[in-house]
Amino acid sequence: MSSFIKNAWYVAMWAQALEPGKVVQREIAGHDIAIYRMPDGTPAALDDRCPHRSAPLHLGRVCPNGNLQCGYHGLQFNATGACAVNPHGKGVIPVALRVRSYPVTERHSLIWVWTGDQPADPALIPDLSVIDRAAPKDVTYRDVLEMEANYQLVIDNLLDLSHVAFLHGGVLGNDSTVAADIAVTQEGDSVTVSRWMPNVKPPGLFDMLFRRDGSLVDHWSAITWMAPSCLLNNAGVTAVRAPQSAGTGIFGLHLLTPVNERKTVYHFAAVRQNPLPFPDDVHAKIMEDLKVLRRKAFVTEDEPMIEAQQRVIDKVGAEAARPVLLAVDGGPVRYRRVLDDIRARQAALGQQAG
Ligand code: FES
Ligand SMILES: [Fe+2]
């Protein structure tokens, strides 16, 4: 059985990656999809297979009238997936000459695609409005990487940040991250894992954002998983016993798109919260370092570990690889329960519809 949630919005790409006039191919939860912009900028998404002779539609072109033209024999499809122009013979359009269209929308500077068979509900798009509210200079480069692993292993990694002390060598977290009390809370289909770490040595990245001298701080992190696969980490530091509002930090966006059962595309960015009034050149350097440090941690530290973990699990089998749980696993256990619950709800809906 597939591990994907069918009726859900998935990130297809950062909005800036969908350039006018281009057709971009994405595989999302097993669906091959051709995505492009209409002449007015509105995104459109069609199944990436021409019904004539199965040429991929992403090898075609966007016509001035907004139709997507197959690159092989020139059929044109409109954004609903109906064939609008047949340049051959008398131009007759058989009823079967149509492709599936996917609900697609642009929000939070991302392109989202709905892969479900139930009506698309825009209210289910995870709330990432922190990125809309921030000044452009307070948002890092909108980045992306690929992991050869199931998306749930990446969520496990992010919802249990106890790994940061061991895998990321004191830059993103340290011993205090391990020792911290963890609280797991659930709100609807979202799960938050919070850590409060008073009077601790700041991890390198947070010291860089704050006093830059290594002196003790109160440190917090609250990472929220929003079904099915987006996470938002509110993390920062403040002076010992000072309110959080007097401190500084980041919102880390971690947006996971399952490609297939063994591949995940990971879009990420950091948004500054309450940045200190450093001179412009220092601020710009901090943003650049944030981008570089986070990418290095995800690509050279998380990715090899998660991919290696996936290979071991594939070798021994899911049953043998069932985890022996620790105190830090409350978050991962809870979100997997919510995912199971959503799958059960959607299966019941599908049965009603069928
Ligand atoms: S394969 Fe698309 S028009 Fe022939
Ligand atoms: Fe990590």
The domain ranges of the chain are: 9-123, 129-345
Q: Is 52 in the pocket of ligand 1 (CB under 6 A)?
A: yes
* C-alpha 158: how far from chain center: 12
Q: Judging by DSSP bridges, how do beta strands 143-147 and 68-69 pair with one another?
A: unpaired
Q: Which residues of the chain have pLDDT under 70?
A: 353-354
Cβ atoms of 45 and 113 closer than 8 Å = yes
Domains 9-123 and 129-345 fall in the same CATH topology:
no
Q: Is 70 in the pocket of ligand 1 (CB under 6 A)?
A: yes
Q: Is 217 in the pocket of ligand 1 (CB under 6 A)?
A: no
- From the CA of 53, give the closest atom in ligand 1: 1
CATH number, domain 129-345, options 3.40.50.1820, 3.90.380.10, 3.30.413.10, 3.40.50.300: 3.90.380.10
Nearest residue CA, atom 4 of ligand 1? 73
Q: Is 50 in the pocket of ligand 1 (CB under 6 A)?
A: yes
Q: Is 55 in the pocket of ligand 1 (CB under 6 A)?
A: yes
Strands (E), 188-326: 190-200, 217-226, 230-238, 248-260, 263-273
The architecture of the domain spanning 9-123 is: 3-layer Sandwich (2.102)
Give every CB contact of residue 117 below 8 A, 6+ residues apart in sequence. Answer: 6, 7, 350, 353
Q: How far is the CA of 160 from the centre of ligand 2 (A)?
A: 9
Q: How far is the CA of 84 from the centre of ligand 1 (A)?
A: 13
Task: Find the ligand nearest to 83 CA.
Answer: 1
* C-alpha–C-alpha distance, residues 35 and 20, integer Å: 11
Nearest to 173 by CA among 186, 185, 161: 161
Measured N-to-C along each axis, helices 151-159 and 330-353 cross at an angle, to the nearest 10 degrees, of 140
- From the CA of 57, give the closest atom in ligand 1: 2
Q: Judging by DSSP bridges, how do beta strands 143-147 and 110-114 pair with one another?
A: unpaired
Give me the percent of the chain exceeding a pLDDT of 70.
99
The per-residue pLDDT of the chain, averaged, comes to 95
Task: Give tens-digit pLDDT for 44-77.
Answer: 999 999 999 999 999 999 999 999 999 999 999 9
Residues in the chain: 354
Nearest residue CA, atom 1 of ligand 1? 53
* C-alpha–C-alpha distance, residues 225 and 154, integer Å: 11
